[in-house]
């Protein structure tokens, strides 16, 4: 049965897709097209993609690797121009470069393949597919060489100073940008996630260890090209402290300096999504994607100034610079009622620019947020990824992707908010702020989805008892104009042995919990993005890391160009996989 009614995206769910299907699968009546692929030239003068001779300079003008967060922001009333904003989370050198490539060239090229892209899109009329505009005025690449300003209470702290930046206020680059969110004032937030893996650290400091920094993790050897990646030296001991932030980018101003907001804390930020509270304070919800880590909330000190005047815009660009950070504790009311639910509280970490954690200065709370949070005993969650409020209902959805360590020897066992041992399938928490107030100290919560397939124990689908599409490892979430939740997954191939995908699920009404699969991604890929423009009958996803376990010589995906390995690729093509932003539109 398809989804009835007024939706611009009626569809009959697709079935689970075999991991060997190396293509995007969409419902009957829909088609997919690539908008941008790794290596497509963006900036004026950037060369056509030539995978056999890739250079740092070429990559710095081309679409980066492993697209993750995505938004498509329309910029005119006719709906014929838009900005595409995208994160480039990490690189996979083994399938990006021919064997024998010069190591320093590889390192410098992947620095340019990280970061973000801003690209202008055009189309003739609503409902058409978008194409990108090479060399357009607003096109921008942000890489590991782009200068960022640091703001908020920890800016200028000794904890952020290095030999190259004695001010502690200016950082070169962003990396491991995973998910994000678009603000009401038109900027994009992006989370710096697994930054630890690129540094050589001493391995002896417990503060390093809490962030996964170690003496063995820098497999990419970046420190041989730039000493800042060697945190064992006094000059760069603080360089890791300069990553792990929420960054804010203004996609409408290619000359603007992007900002790292210390007030929002430092951890493995999946992303940040904001909602304007009824009193005008801007509230950001954030997940720390690690097994047994936490859900956070930031409440701005100042309130949103409405309108688009230059004065309002200047004001709003400062909203995330000062505010109160807290961390969530979820308390269950017992499983006697047959459901995982209960109440919760926001435990303050900072308030009014002061530390609320005994033994921590404000700078220490913000730079070593994980350790400050540990001190107030929040709830250890099963890897919180996207945490996103519905702008329609004000309820917040937390995608806890999985936690293979839950209940293992020496690890915390199941609790009502994280109810399964060795949680391979993940769950989605629904949070309801007390009195509908996003600044309130308390909330109610329930597990909206406990994911899995027919073979998974303990599944729950929002009370829906009819058939559902199997779903596992929720990662990114989005809403359509009717308030339905759309969930994309990362990890189904190992958890339930089918390709990752995109799923629609109503959160209200008689179909609450009715999970329906809309799309599946090619072999080896996770589904990122997603962006749902249902009134425009369009869905966008970022296909990340297709064929990630292959090699240059033996690709495990040929998506999206499908060039035979034995043939001669045409200009701009590649016989291996290319991370790609895909749009899905109606074909009839
Ligand atoms: Fe980069 Fe938490 O996924
Ligand atoms: Ca209960
Ligand atoms: Ca993610
Ligand atoms: Ca993930």
Is residue 386 over pLDDT 50?
Answer: yes
CATH number attached to the domain at 30-586? 2.120.10.30
- The string of DSSP codes covering 286-320 is EEB-SEEE-EEEEEEEEEPPPS--HHHHHHHTTTT
Query: pLDDT by residue (tens digit) across 113-165?
Result: 999 999 999 999 988 999 999 999 999 999 999 999 999 999 999 999 999 99
Give the ligand at the shortest distance from the Cα of 490: 4
CA 315 from chain centre, in angstroms, equals 26
Q: What is the dihedral of CA 270, 271, 276, 280, to 10 degrees?
A: 90
**What is d(CA 582, CA 24) in angstroms, rounded to the nearest whole number?**
9
| Ligand 1 site, residue 120, Cβ cutoff 6 A | no
**What is d(CA 579, CA 571) in angstroms, rounded to the nearest whole number?**
17
CA–centroid distance, 438 to ligand 2, in Å, is: 23
Give the 3-state secondary structure of residue 371: helix
- The per-residue pLDDT of the chain, averaged, comes to 96
Give the ligand at the shortest distance from the Cα of 447: 2
Query: pLDDT by residue (tens digit) across 448-506?
Result: 999 999 999 999 999 999 999 999 999 999 999 999 999 999 999 999 999 999 999 99
Name the phi and psi angles at 264, rounded to 5: -90, 5
CA–centroid distance, 85 to ligand 4, in Å, is: 19
Nearby residues for ligand 2 (ion, Cβ within 5 Å) = 333, 337, 341
193 CA closest ligand 1 atom index: 1
Question: What is the pLDDT, as a whole number, of residue 4?
Answer: 44
268 CA closest ligand 1 atom index: 2
| Ligand 1 site, residue 178, Cβ cutoff 6 A | yes
Question: What is the pLDDT, as a whole number, of residue 219?
Answer: 86
Considering the entire predicted model, what is its pTM? 0.97
Give the ligand at the shortest distance from the Cα of 334: 2
Assembly ipTM:
0.97
Helix, strand, coil percentages (3-state) for the chain, rounded to 5, are 15, 35, 55
Residue with the nearest Cα to atom 1 of ligand 1? 178
| Ligand 1 site, residue 385, Cβ cutoff 6 A | yes
| Ligand 1 site, residue 193, Cβ cutoff 6 A | yes
| Ligand 1 site, residue 289, Cβ cutoff 6 A | yes
Q: Using alpha carbons, select from 512, 511, 513, 491 the residue that is nearest to residue 501.
A: 491
Residue 317: left if φ>0, alpha if ψ -120 to 50, beta else—which one? Answer: alpha
270 CA closest ligand 1 atom index: 2
287 CA closest ligand 1 atom index: 2
CA–centroid distance, 524 to ligand 4, in Å, is: 13
401 CA closest ligand 1 atom index: 2
Give the ligand at the shortest distance from the Cα of 492: 4
């Amino acid at each position: 049965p398809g989804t009835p009614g007024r939706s611009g995206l009626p569809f009959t769910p697709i079935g689970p897709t075999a991991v060997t299907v190396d293509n995007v699968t969409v419902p009957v009546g829909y088609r997919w097209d690539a908008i941008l692929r790794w290596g497509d030239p963006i900036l004026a003068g950037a060369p056509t993609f030539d995978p056999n001779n890739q250079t740092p300079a070429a990559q710095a003008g081309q679409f980066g690797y492993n697209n993750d967060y995505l938004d498509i922001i329309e910029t005119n009333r006719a709906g014929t121009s838009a900005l595409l904003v995208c994160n480039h989370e990490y690189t996979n050198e083994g399938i990006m470069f021919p064997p024998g490539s010069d190591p320093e060239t590889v390192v410098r090229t992947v620095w340019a393949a990280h970061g973000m892209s801003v690209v202008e899109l055009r189309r003739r009329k609503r409902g058409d597919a978008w194409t990108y505009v090479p060399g357009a005025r607003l096109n921008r690449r942000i890489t590991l060489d782009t200068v960022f300003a640091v703001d908020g209470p920890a800016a200028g702290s000794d904890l952020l100073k290095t030999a190259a930046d004695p001010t502690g206020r200016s950082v070169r680059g962003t990396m491991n940008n995973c998910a994000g969110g678009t603000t009401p004032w038109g900027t994009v937030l992006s989370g710096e996630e697994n930054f630890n893996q690129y540094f050589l650290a001493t391995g002896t400091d417990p503060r390093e260890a809490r962030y996964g920094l170690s003496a063995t993790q820098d497999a990419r050897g970046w420190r041989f090209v730039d000493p800042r990646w060697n945190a064992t030296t006094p000059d760069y001991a603080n360089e890791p402290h300069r990553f792990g932030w929420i960054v804010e980018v203004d996609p409408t101003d290619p000359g603007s300096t992007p900002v790292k907001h210390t007030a929002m804390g430092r951890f493995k930020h999946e992303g940040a999504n904001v909602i304007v509270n009824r009193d005008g304070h801007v509230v950001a919800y954030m997940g720390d994607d690690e097994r047994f880590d936490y859900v956070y909330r930031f409440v701005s000190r100042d309130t949103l100034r409405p309108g688009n005047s230059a004065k309002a815009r200047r004001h709003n660009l400062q909203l995330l610079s000062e505010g109160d950070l807290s961390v969530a504790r979820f308390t269950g009311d017992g499983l006697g009622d047959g459901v995982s639910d209960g109440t919760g509280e926001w435990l303050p970490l900072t308030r009014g620019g002061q530390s609320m954690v005994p033994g921590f200065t404000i700078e220490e709370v913000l730079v070593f947020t994980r350790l400050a949070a540990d001190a107030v005993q929040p709830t250890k969650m099963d890897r919180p990824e996207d945490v996103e409020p519905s702008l329609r209902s004000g309820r917040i959805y937390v995608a806890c992707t999985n936690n293979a360590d839950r209940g293992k020897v020496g690890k915390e066992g199941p609790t009502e908010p994280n109810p399964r041992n060795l949680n391979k399938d993940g769950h989605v928490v629904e949070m309801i702020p007390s009195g509908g107030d996003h600044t309130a100290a308390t909330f109610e919560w329930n597990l909206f989805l406990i994911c899995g397939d027919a073979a998974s124990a303990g599944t729950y689908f929002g009370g829906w008892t009819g058939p559902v599409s199997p779903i596992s490892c929720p990662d990114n979430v989005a809403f359509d104009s009717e308030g339905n939740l759309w969930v994309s997954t990362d990890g189904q191939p190992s958890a339930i042995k089918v390709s990752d995908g995109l799923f629609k699920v109503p959160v209200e009404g008689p179909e609450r919990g009715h999970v329906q699969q809309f799309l599946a991604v090619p072999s080896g890929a996770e589904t990122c993005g997603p962006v749902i423009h249902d009134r425009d009958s369009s869905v966008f996803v970022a296909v990340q890391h297709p064929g990630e376990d292959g090699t240059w010589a033996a690709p495990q995906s040929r998506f999206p160009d499908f060039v035979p390995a034995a043939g001669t690729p045409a200009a701009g093509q590649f016989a291996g996989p290319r991370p790609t932003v895909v749009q899905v539109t109606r074909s009839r």
